[in-house]
């Protein structure tokens, strides 16, 4: 089963596609970011994200997706644009008929390390280990998206993280 993880943002949307097979082997199929220019109007940036998400969905054909949920935002100035980007991402998934689940950052951290306040390095190390990657996935947004996809696999019962800890 292919699971697409999404870390929403207006400037950078992280994505990570994992595949889970019947032998409980988990591999990273693709990861990266969708970038928009801060010099463009917000509507143009949201349109770019929507177009890129549609292309990503068509290319990867995930069975399901997982999207990071906004839980607590320190910077009120960026809350609305990130919320709008998240809405565009959910719209693209919905229109493509892709079922999706949502996780807060704390839920992802708990699923990955068992500790809800883990730092980025701990999450990246666990993603690298679970997906048997040679290198730590970069950039951070893509690594977070892979962790979100793995959280979905865990929650859906396709992975047992306790066996690798």
Name the residue with tokens 């068509």. Answer: 58
55 is catalytic: no
Contact 88, 49 (CB under 8 A): yes
Pick the catalytic residue from 7, 11, 102, 140: 7
11 is catalytic: no
Give the pLDDT score at 162. Answer: 42
How many domains does the chain contain in total?
1
69: pLDDT strictly greater than 80: yes
Taking each helix axis from N to C end, the angle separating 105-113 and 140-155, rounded to the nearest 10 degrees, works out to: 70
Give the pLDDT score at 164. Answer: 43
**DSSP single-letter state for residue 148:** H
Pick the catalytic residue from 30, 141, 144, 155: 141
What is the domain extent for residue 40? 2-163
pTM of the model: 0.91
119 is catalytic: no
Q: How confident is the model at residue 154 (pLDDT cuts 50, 70, 90)?
A: confident
Give the pLDDT score at 163. Answer: 44
Pick the catalytic residue from 11, 21, 30, 68: 68
Give the pLDDT score at 160. Answer: 46
pLDDT in tens, 28-53: 999 999 999 999 999 999 999 999 99
Strand-pair category, 12-20 with 100-103: unpaired
Q: What is the CATH number of the domain that holds 111?
A: 3.30.420.10
Q: For residue 159, how many other CB atoms are within 10 A of its CB?
A: 21
Taking each helix axis from N to C end, the angle separating 42-60 and 76-95, rounded to the nearest 10 degrees, works out to: 40
């Amino acid at each position: 089963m292919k699971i697409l993880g999404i870390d929403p943002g207006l400037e950078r949307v992280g994505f990570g596609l994992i595949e889970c097979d019947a032998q409980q082997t988990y591999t990273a199929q693709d990861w990266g970011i969708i970038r928009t220019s801060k010099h463009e109007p917000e509507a143009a940036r949201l349109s770019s994200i929507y177009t890129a998400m549609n292309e990503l969905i068509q290319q990867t054909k995930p069975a399901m997706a997982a999207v990071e949920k906004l839980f607590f935002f320190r910077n009120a100035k960026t809350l609305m644009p990130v919320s709008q980007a998240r809405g565009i991402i959910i719209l693209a998934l919905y229109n493509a008929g892709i079922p999706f689940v949502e996780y807060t950052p704390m839920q992802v951290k708990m699923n990955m390390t068992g500790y809800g306040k883990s730092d980025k390095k701990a999450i990246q190390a666990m993603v690298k280990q679970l997906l048997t990657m040679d290198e730590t996935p970069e950039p951070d947004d893509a690594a977070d998206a892979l962790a979100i996809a793995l959280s979905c696999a865990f929650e859906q019962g396709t992975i047992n993280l306790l066996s690798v800890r």
